[in-house]
Chain A
Amino acid sequence: MSDGATIASHFEDAEQQREAGLMGMWLFLATELLLFAGLFGGFAIYRGLHGDAFAAAARHLDLPLATANTVILLTSGLSMALAERMAHAGAPQLARRWIAVTVALGASFLAIKGYEWHHEYSEGLMPLLGLAFEYDGPDAAQAHLFFDFYFAMTGLHALHMLIGLAALVLLWMLGRPRAGLQPDRYIRQVQITGMYWAFVDVVWVFVFTSLYLLRS
């Protein structure tokens, strides 16, 4: 052991242990990227085949609300990065405050997303679980496909947000002053969770662009 760090027996030193954790997370995120890339690939093909119908369907989405939500999510990316910075600077309690801010912003994002889904449900634009699809424009079949992609992409993203929020709440609890905190371990946990959270931001940027912005 060096400088009080807890090092697992299969690592040479704390630095190697930290790097291995980061690499493991990158590898996991690579598989996540491919999961989302499959969806984006499918969307790109159908966007190419039914460009006008998809653009018209996109105009049924609430762009101002989604833009506000994007601002919230990008700001949560900043607050999580600041939490990492504080953890590195040896201030775990400040890190916990930024984690709490991140949780609040992430929960706000999901609440707004839920409101948006409810609005689409009440407009008859939710072709899920046998619900009627009441689209008032031309190319209703292609619009149906657009909304299938919309709910698959935003739903999968929201699921990742929920997992991220659960991890953040756990981090917040682990960082309590009396929780027997191991500083070096906590820094690694905050950094790895921060990477996941930023990845969720990256995915949203592309979800937002594909679904909301390609409207002409």
Chain B
Amino acid sequence: MNPATRTLLLTWAALLAVLAMSVAVALLALGPWSIALNLGLALLMGGLLVANFMDLLSAKPLIRVFALGALLWVFLLFVMLPVDYLTR
């Protein structure tokens, strides 16, 4: 099998495995740990999708900078949003 195709299939299998773990964590109801674990697993799935299905892993540095820029703005949004609520 072509290595690129193999990577895609492995990514898909990994995504399904992480999805199964996420649902299991949600059903086990571990309280606050569930939230942290579920968000971590969602980030892992998002990372796998962006890296291999959106080709960021093999992209040129300038394109990675654009992708990083998008994350930076989201990071700023999520840092500044609770600041408003925590300082009221």
Contact = CB atoms under 8 A, between A and B. Distances in A.
B49 to A, nearest CB: 5
Given A33-B74, A85-B8, A205-B46, A215 B26 contact: yes
Given A26-B70, A48-B85, A216-B30, 10 more contacts: A23-B63, A29-B70, A30-B66, A37-B73, A44-B81, A85-B2, A195-B55, A198-B53, A209-B39, A214-B34
A154 to B, nearest CB: 16
Nearest to B45: A205
A85 B78 CA distance: 35
A85 B4 contact: yes
Given A206-B46, A216-B26, A216-B34, A78 B59 contact: no
A202 B12 contact: no
Chain B contact residues, majority secondary structure: helix
Contacts of B49: 77, 198, 201-202, 205
Interface stretch (A66-74, A114-122, A176-184): A66-74
Interface residues of B, number: 47
A19 B60 contact: yes
Contacts of B15: 74, 77
